[in-house]
Homo-oligomer: A and B are copies of this chain.
């Protein structure tokens, strides 16, 4: 993203010339810390009633949608409602995000970006659907540029992108390489697997255990982890079948996903729980770490724990569990 690099340099020059005291707008949140995103809830951006309700729910991230959840003739209304909501409504401990239309839907996406980048309260987090090429992220970067100079340079807009086509999956590596470039005006933090669009794109049909998605889901997890990003699993569309939702959530967590999309309030708690370490797991992690620290200081090579030989990988896993437990404890 060579072009972006010079844009960024120019942005920095503008900031320098204008001074930092010109800041007139603010992000909805300037919290730069780690966001757990176990549950990602969609709300149609033009549905004020549902948005109000969502503000009191327990989803880790609430997505005010301008894309698939909003009919074409309601897009303008959705933008207005969302701009207003961002400026006036508190969502408690939930992160609030906006999903714009896909970059390929150029006019819609442009109107989205023009609206939200000029709002009094700019969304902290943007979701960009149907990313298929690195150039889609360059487009986003260009649209952030005009507002970047008015914001603190150390606070970047958080970006979450969607893989929802065969092409997006094949190009994922180059998309992520472009996405994590430090010169970007955004911080790429997560990838969402848009499974329903993906099904339509590859002409597949959902089965009960979704084995036809194994390649796509595991490929996404591996790409995300190689680039240090969160991986957010497919939506469970049948929101009445909470048993299957639970199974699918646990399966996703075991696969390495860090969260899951939800489309109904009843799905939130089940998903949050599945993507949190269990009390038993936390206890196991604490004890294993303690055993490791004791035996390691005594110079014993192969650590023994509960009758099994334990190697460094498992010790690391235990440390990871404790970190995640701490991050979601306050919720």
* A279 CB-CB contact with B under 8 Å: no
Q: Report A100 CB to chain B, min CB distance, Å.
A: 15
**CB-CB under 8 A for A313 and B194, given A212-B254, A320-B203:** yes
Q: Give chain A interface residues in 211-237, CB to chain B under 8 Å.
A: 211-212, 214-216, 218-219, 221-226, 237
Q: Give chain A interface residues in 271-302, CB to chain B under 8 Å.
A: 296, 299-302
B211 near A256: Cβ-Cβ < 8 Å: no
Query: Which of B170, B205, B216, B258 is in CB contact (< 8 Å) with A203?
Result: B258
State which of A55-63, A69-77, A109-117, A153-161 sits at the interface with chain B: A69-77
* A20 CB-CB contact with B under 8 Å: no
B226 near A167: Cβ-Cβ < 8 Å: yes
A309 near B203: Cβ-Cβ < 8 Å: no
A214 near B216: Cβ-Cβ < 8 Å: no
A223-257 toward B: CB 8 Å interface, digit per residue (1/0)? 11110000000000111000000000001011110
Distance in angstroms between the alpha carbons of A88 and B296 in the assembled complex: 30
* Chain A residues bordering chain B, tally (CB within 8 A): 67
Q: Give chain A interface residues in 252-272, CB to chain B under 8 Å.
A: 253-256, 258, 263
Which has the most chain B C-beta neighbours within 10 Å: A70, A165, A312? A312
Distance in angstroms between the alpha carbons of A243 and B67 in the assembled complex: 43
**CB-CB under 8 A for A218 and B221, given A46-B301, A166-B226, A199-B313:** no
B68 near A207: Cβ-Cβ < 8 Å: no
Cβ contacts under 8 Å, A255 to chain B: 204, 212
Cβ contacts under 8 Å, A8 to chain B: none
* A44 CB-CB contact with B under 8 Å: yes
Query: Which of B173, B205, B215 is in CB contact (< 8 Å) with A215?
Result: B215
Distance in angstroms between the alpha carbons of A137 and B309 in the assembled complex: 30
B223 near A69: Cβ-Cβ < 8 Å: no
A222 near B214: Cβ-Cβ < 8 Å: no
Distance in angstroms between the alpha carbons of A72 and B295 in the assembled complex: 12
Q: Report A66 CB to chain B, min CB distance, Å.
A: 10
Q: Report A300 CB to chain B, min CB distance, Å.
A: 6
Cβ contacts under 8 Å, A301 to chain B: 44, 46-47, 69-71, 74
Interface residues of A (CB under 8 A from B): 44, 46-47, 68-74, 164-167, 169-170, 173, 194, 196-207, 211-212, 214-216, 218-219, 221-226, 237-239, 251, 253-256, 258, 263, 296, 299-302, 308-309, 311-314, 316-317, 320
